[in-house]
Amino acid sequence: MSPLPDRPFGLPIDHFGVAVHDLDAAATPWAVLGLPVAEDEEVPEQGVRVRLLRAGDAWIELLAPSRDDSPVGRFLRTRGEGLHHVALRVDDIEAELARLIDAGARAIDAHPRRGRAGSQVAFLHPGWAHGVLIELVQPAAPR
């Protein structure tokens, strides 16, 4: 089993993903809190529209389905609006994922796939992390 890297500060939170029906309506409370909108993006492969809100060194990622049969659309139907996933930032997602699988993690993605803005992402099964869907994200460039 590959050793756990020496990380006294753990892994930084990259973002929280929140499943919502309507981006504009869902962004309002965050705007009142003072989180500026960073950008909107459509991810057709995932059937989702994304609105990123700045929260210091991290982000809130609002996710609204662009079609009903998308993963976020199904989540909304079964669970309703709310916290969808927690994303941790990693430097080397390929190595991290291999180490986690080696350590017994249940990965949804056996290999990283393309995320937004040139990032690479991989999801770990909520059944492994006691109900939390965890996303690993390796950003394309420093931000």
Question: Which parts of this chain interact with Co ion (CB under 5 A)?
Answer: 17, 61, 87, 135
Helix or strand (DSSP H, E) at 119: none
C-beta of 111: minimal distance to Co ion in Å?
A: 17
Toward Co ion, which CB reaches closer, 17 or 139? 17
Quote the strand ranges of the chain, DSSP E: 13-19, 37-43, 48-55, 58-65, 82-89, 113-114, 120-124, 134-138
Toward Co ion, which CB reaches closer, 53 or 87? 87
Partners of residue 10 on adjacent β-strands = none
CA 8 to chain centre: 23
Toward Co ion, which CB reaches closer, 100 or 122? 122
Toward Co ion, which CB reaches closer, 39 or 102? 39
138 phi and psi angles, rounded to 5 deg: -110, 105
C-beta of 116: minimal distance to Co ion in Å?
A: 8
Toward Co ion, which CB reaches closer, 61 or 100? 61
C-beta of 1: minimal distance to Co ion in Å?
A: 28
**Helix/strand/coil for 92:** coil
C-beta of 127: minimal distance to Co ion in Å?
A: 18
C-beta of 15: minimal distance to Co ion in Å?
A: 6
Which residue's C-beta sits nearest to Co ion? 17
CA torsion angle for 11, 118, 18, 7 (degrees, to 10)? 0
